[in-house]
Structure 1
């Protein structure tokens, strides 16, 4: 007998027991992708995004999972992506570096958090990648060779 597991999320901003972090709400469907629940994990530290003056294959503003996988397949020179890919919590190892839009959705849902600047997986150019300032909800971009905080995320299907 095949029984589907039904996941019931907690209130936004609460720890989602057994899921590796806090519940950051629903990321809406867009560009053909279905909506999903977003879980944001603990801060892993400060890391460089990757090499400066190098075009990276992480150009999606909405799909952090695809960006992270592309970075990991391209080279081992992407410290932020490597850190989230190595992260495990509550028995889960499917974490990734969130895209710019995923970080913005998390900020919309969670509101002010004293997390400072977080790297996204979204490259802006060979020189810059997008960041999210969680104190005021503004997205910026900065040199990929700078160190900013990294928080892994994972997605769960809406059932």
Structure 2
């Protein structure tokens, strides 16, 4: 068997998938399950599926205010949310997708990168929610349009589309 650890324990032969053992070790160490994956994986070309990461690779964003740079991955079209207000979209974006639980709505910079690098992966007939709330008006949040790249603030009660993203630190 491939990637299985086998050993004898009190006369019994035990086989454990290496991934299960590593996941258990990471849990006991208090580390996120993707801590080792982040160090071992190389991203695919922009717009391609990143195998094991749950979605489509959108590129690298520079960290803000001293934060590290990170890779951005967006969920596939099968996981697109349609006709949801901002609260519903925010809650649903946090769902588990392909074994990962660190999904959320993109911020404004991330939404802009999605427009620049992956416009053909999004529906051009509508607006997409971001996580960025309107500073001047608490009932508004920013939305991204994939035809012209415009961003506007939309009332949180309006139903738009949404696509979750996840982030992986760039390890040098």
1:7 maps to 2:41: yes
Residue 104 of structure 2 is aligned to residue 35 of structure 1: no
What is the distance in 2 between the residues matched to 1:96 and 1:31?
Answer: 21
**More helix per residue:** 2
Cα deviation per residue 1:93-147 (whole Å; 9 max; x = unaligned)? Answer: 1101111111112222224544231100101122311000012211111111001
**How many residues align structurally?**
129
Larger mean Cα displacement after TM superposition, 143-152 or 111-120: 111-120
C-alpha contact (below 8 Å) 1:112/1:135 kept by paired residues: no
Paired with 1:132 and 1:100, the residues of 2 have a C-alpha distance of: 8
Could you say what secondary structure the match of 2:94 adopts? Answer: helix
The corresponding residue for 1:74 is none
Q: Which runs of 5+ in 2 are unaligned?
A: 1-24, 26-34
- Give 2:50's aligned residue: 16
Q: Distance in 1 between matches of 2:43 and 2:88?
A: 31
RMSD: 1.9
Decide which of 82, 106, 120 is 1:45's aligned counterpart: 82
TM value normalised by structure 2: 0.69
CA contact (8 A) 2:81 2:162 kept: yes
State the alpha-carbon separation in 2 of the partners of residues 92 and 46 from structure 1: 24
Q: Tell me the residue number matched to 2:118.
A: 110
Say whether 1:83 aligns with 2:92.
yes
> Relative to 1, partners in 2 of residues 1:31 and 1:80: Cα closer, same or farther, differing over 3 Å?
same
The answer to whether the Cα contact below 8 Å between 1:113 and 1:135 also exists between their aligned partners in 2 is: no
**Counterparts of 2:133 and 2:63 in 1: how far apart (Å)?**
22
**TM-score, normalisation: structure 1:** 0.74
Gaps of at least 5 residues in structure 1 are 50-77
SS in 2 for 1:37: strand
Change (3 A) 1:113 1:140: farther
- 5 Å matches for 1:127-138? 127-138=139-150
Which structure is larger by alpha-carbon Rg, 1 or 2? 2
